[in-house]
Structure 1
Amino acid sequence: MQRVQAIGDLVGRWFPVIVVAAGAFALAVPELFAGWSAAVPWLLALIMLGMGMTLRPADFSYIARRPAAFAIGVVAQYVLMPAAGWLLTTVFSLPPEIAVGVILVACAPGGTASNVMVFLARGDVALSVAMTSVSTLLAPVLTPLLVLLLAGRFLPVAPADLFLSIVQVVLVPVVLGFLLRRFASGFTDRVTPALPLVSVLGITAVVLIVVAGSADSVLSAGLLILLVVVLHNLLGLAVGYGVARACGLDVPARRAVSIEVGMQNSGLAATLGTVHFGPAAALPGAVFSVWHNVSGSALAGFWARRTAREEQPADASG
């Protein structure tokens, strides 16, 4: 299992490159992945099962210890990113399916990789885990309602169908994973080292399927989609940090809120787009999967180096 963990760590470091290569391959030979769209919800469910296995009751104790910081983070998650997504679809007059895809990303809960990025950034990991966990549990209710509100002008939205899909591919697997850790800890301890590798392979497979299924849209509007995704992510990171600072949170908490707001569960967005709106609606989620790992890694590295420089004089004098 140590070898599997080492492979997972290596693959995780090269994840952005792997996903970009997968997208290019899918674009070159889309016919190889024709008819695979039905696998997308199952892939996300597997990833969310792994997330559930990493949760512990103690992860939710942060809410009682620092309720204000937690509330600021979750409200920012479900207000700032949806608002930014709506603004971008309006400014760029995106085609309906692409616009819905951007809204789906905007209204998704926090991404599964955000906790790692916050750890690398020397941020408040406990806050990050609490935000990811609770925003995921709130997703079955909040995501369909926000999508209906913001995307209903582009395409018909059935919130009940979205609710059911999110329960099936997110809530049930997360709860099942949590229960497995609680009542079958020996099993989860054995498989946990492999979870990063499973997540990377799962997201890569989703990107392959989504890009292949929307190859025409990539060729016709790929640069525009990339621009909107980059702006959306950067707005989330910047405004998340700004709101946390304005509310008086300490620096580690600001970093956690910034990364949590800026990094979305793009796999969920791609899944909902594939199942309910068409391949093109899944494309922003697939592109976001690549980009937010690139920007998150870069920002985490910058903050880690900055913290190391600030701590150096104190270490030297001690």
Structure 2
Amino acid sequence: MRMLAAISRFVGNTFALWVLLFAILAFYFPAFFAPAAKWIVPLLGLVMFGMGLTLKTEDFREVARRPGRVALGVVAQFVIMPGVAWMLCKLLGLPDEIAVGVILVGCCPGGTASNVMTWFARGDVALSVAITSVSTLLAPLVTPALIWLLASAWLPVQFGALFWSIVQIVLLPIALGLIAQRLLGNRTQAAIQVLPLVSVISIVIIVAAVVAVSQARIAESGLLIMAVVVLHNGLGLALGYLAARLFGLPLAQRKTLSIEVGMQNSGLGAALASAHFSPLAAVPSALFSVWHNLSGPLLATVFRRMDDQRPSDGPHAG
């Protein structure tokens, strides 16, 4: 188990490289990876189950301790990224399926990788975990509502179907993880040690499957989608930082909001797009997963060098 935990840590620390490597392999060998598309939803559910295993009572106490700052992070998450996505789709005149895919990933909650990036950046990890947890729990209502509001101009959107999918993919696995944690107590620690490995494998398979089934369309429109993804992520990171600065938050929390807003649960976006729209609509989420796992560590490295008067909390990938 110690060896497996060490491998898990190594794979978790090199997450971006594995995502990039298998996205490239899937593009050049699509026939090998395409059958994995049927596993997208179960794999994301497995990642969310892991999130439930790692959530702690302290994460929810943080919401009660600093409700204003958690609320600011959640509102910034669900206003900035969907708004930027809609603006880019309008300004660039994106085709319908690509536009819906960009808006969809923008309407997703924050990804759990943001917690690790916040720790590395010497941000406020407790606040990061609280914002990720609250935005994820609100996702079944907020994400379908935002997709319906912003994306209906391009393609029909079924609120009820999206709501039920997110309940199945997100809420139920998290609830099962919380129940397992409560029933098994410390016996879940062995599973938690290998969670980075499980999460990386799951996200890598999801990204590879989406790239494989859309290989021809990526070859045709991939540069355009990648440009939009880079702009979307970059504007999210910058506007998250500016929002925190506007409200007078200290540097550690400005770093936190930047990373929380800019890093999305792109696996959820890929799963929803594949289930309710088309393989092409899932491509922005897949490319976002590749890109934000490169931009996140780069930004965290820059943030880490910035002076900060407040010490960071310890690492927590919940």
Alignment of 1:239-278 (within 5 A): 239-278=239-278
Q: Does 1:52 align with 2:52?
A: yes
Aligned with 1:37: secondary structure? helix
Contact 1:122-1:307 within 8 A present in 2 as well:
no
Equivalent residue for 1:316? Answer: none
Equivalent residue for 1:154? Answer: 154
Equivalent residue for 1:292? Answer: 292
Aligned with 1:306: secondary structure? coil
Aligned with 1:155: secondary structure? coil
Contact 1:105-1:265 within 8 A present in 2 as well:
yes
**Given residue 224 of structure 1, which amino acid in structure 2 is its aligned partner?**
L
Worse overlay, 66-75 or 267-276: 66-75
Q: Percent identity?
A: 52
Q: Kindly report the root-mean-square deviation, in angstroms, between the aligned alpha carbons of the 2 structures.
A: 1.5
- The one-character-per-residue Cα deviations of 1:53-108 (angstroms, maximum 9, x if unpaired) are 11011101111211111111110000011000001111111111111111111000
Cα deviation, residue 20, structure 1? 1.5
Count of matched residue pairs: 311
Equivalent residue for 1:204? Answer: 204
Aligned with 1:141: secondary structure? helix
- The one-character-per-residue Cα deviations of 1:99-118 (angstroms, maximum 9, x if unpaired) are 11111110000101010000
- The one-character-per-residue Cα deviations of 1:159-198 (angstroms, maximum 9, x if unpaired) are 1000010000101001111121122123311110100011
Q: Does 1:303 align with 2:303?
A: yes
Contact 2:34-2:210 within 8 A present in 1 as well:
no
Q: Distance in 2 between matches of 1:71 and 1:261?
A: 13
Cα deviation, residue 308, structure 1? 8.0
Contact 1:5-1:194 within 8 A present in 2 as well:
yes
Q: Does 1:137 align with 2:100?
A: no
- The one-character-per-residue Cα deviations of 1:225-248 (angstroms, maximum 9, x if unpaired) are 111001101111100010111001
Q: Distance in 1 between matches of 2:119 and 2:61?
A: 18
Equivalent residue for 2:73? Answer: 73
Moved runs in structure 1, 4+ residues, more than 4 A? 308-311
Q: Does 1:225 align with 2:199?
A: no
Q: Distance in 2 between matches of 1:300 and 1:175?
A: 31
TM-score w.r.t. length of structure 1:
0.95
Where does the alignment leave 5 or more consecutive residues of structure 1 unmatched?
A: 312-318
Cα deviation, residue 128, structure 1? 0.4
TM-score w.r.t. length of structure 2:
0.95
- The one-character-per-residue Cα deviations of 1:215-262 (angstroms, maximum 9, x if unpaired) are 111100111111100110111110001011100111111111110000
